[in-house]
A = this chain, B = another copy of it.
Amino acid sequence: MGKKVTIRDIARMAGVSVTTVSQVLNGKGKRFSKTTREKIMKLRDQYQYVPDFHARSLIMKGSINTIGVLVPNVSESFFGTFVEGVQQVARQEKLIPLIFSANREPKLEQEYLEQMVERSIDGLIIASARMTTEMINQALSNRDIPYILFDRNYDQQGARVLTDDYHGGQLAAQHLLALGHTKMLFLGVKNITENFKQRMAGFQETINAQEINFDEDHNLLKADLSKDGGYQMARPVIESGATAVFTANDEVAIGLMRGLREQGVRVPEDISVIGYDDIILDEYVYPQLTTIHQPIFKLGVGATEILLNKINHPDAEPEQVEHFPVKLIARQSTGKCQQN
- A residues within 8 Å of B by Cβ? 64, 66, 74-77, 80-81, 83-84, 87, 91, 96-101, 103, 108, 111-112, 115, 118-119, 227, 231, 254-255, 257-258, 261, 280-281, 283-286
Contacts and interface: CB of A to CB of B under 8 A. Distances in A.
Given A64-B119, A75-B80, A75-B81, 8 more contacts: A64-B118, A96-B100, A96-B112, A99-B99, A99-B100, A99-B101, A258-B283, A284-B285
B227 A280 contact: yes
Contacts of A74: 74, 80, 83, 99
A180 to B, nearest CB: 26
Chain multiplicity (copies)? 2
A312 to B, nearest CB: 21
A254 B307 CA distance: 36
A91 B75 contact: no
A103 B87 contact: yes
A281 B281 contact: yes
Contact of A91 (B81, B108, B261): B108
Contact of A227 (B81, B108, B284): B284
Contacts of A103: 87
A257 B247 CA distance: 25
Question: Would you call the interface of chain A mostly helix, strand, loop, or mixed?
Answer: helix
Contacts of A261: 286
A75 B84 contact: yes
Nearest to A254: B284
A140 B257 CA distance: 47
A255 B285 CA distance: 10
A101 B87 contact: yes
A258 B287 CA distance: 10
A35 to B, nearest CB: 32
A202 B304 CA distance: 45
A118 B65 CA distance: 11
Nearest to A82: B75
B100 A98 contact: yes
Contact of A75 (B66, B83, B118): B83
Contact of A96 (B115, B255, B285): B115
Contacts of A231: 284
Nearest to A77: B75
Contact of A284 (B75, B108, B258): B258
